Amino acid sequence: MSSLPAQSAPDLRKRRTSRGSMFWRMLFRAAILRRGRVASALLAMVVAAAVVTTMLNLFVDVQAKLRKEFRNYGANVVVVAKDGQTLPPNALNKVSSTLAGRGLAVPFAYAVARTSDGRSIVVTGTDFDQARKLNRWWSVTRWPTASQQALVGVRAAALVSPQGKPDRRCGRQSHLSFTQGFRSLDSNPSFNH
C-alpha cells in the first residue's frame, strides 16, 4: 500500500489553510509588484460589469417602451372577413367582449369611390370617437362632430376636389367643403391620406 504515514485531521486542516493563505499571499504580492496590470484588470472588470448592467437595463426598458408605443400607434390586431364575405353583425360585440376592457375595438368599413376624372380613392366609415382614441398620433385640424361630416385626408382632398368644387361619386351629387383634414406620419408619404 502506501508508505506515507497517516495524517490526522488537524494536520490536514493546517495544510489546507496554509495552501489557502499561500494563494492569497501570492495574489497580494503579485498585485503589489504588478500594479499596472492589476489596475488594468480591475478597470476592465468594472467597465465590463457597467456595460452588462447598462445593456440589461436598456433591454428591459426598450421592451417596455416598445410595447407602450405600439399600443399608442393603432391596431395590434385587425379582424377581417374571408375573401368575398362580410363579417357578421355581432363581430364587433364579440371582439369587444373578448377584449373585456383591456383594449379598444374600432369598426372600419372600406369602399372604393371614383373622382369626377376617374381616379380611385378609398372611402372609410368608422366611429370617429373610437378612432380618435385608437389613433392618437393622427394630426387632425378638426374632428367631425355631426353625423353628416367627414374627415378627408390631405392627399385625398386634393384628388377629390382641388378647389372645393362639387363632385359626382356613387351616382349622387355631393359638395365637399374642407374645414378639417388629417395627416398621418408626415415622414412617410405612403401613409398620408
Is-contact 126 106, C-beta < 8 A? yes
SS3 2: coil
Q: Which pLDDT does position 7 carry in this prediction?
A: 59
Is-contact 167 160, C-beta < 8 A? yes
Cell numbers representing residue 116 in the block: 369626377
Residues 28, 29, 33, 37, CA torsion sign:
negative
Q: Which pLDDT does position 37 carry in this prediction?
A: 86
State mean pLDDT over 12-38. Answer: 77
Output the average pLDDT for the chain.
73
Stated pTM of the model: 0.45
Greater model confidence, 15 or 181: 15
Residue range 107-140, pLDDT digits in tens: 888 888 777 777 787 888 888 888 888 777 777 8
pLDDT bracket for residue 181 (50, 70, 90): very low
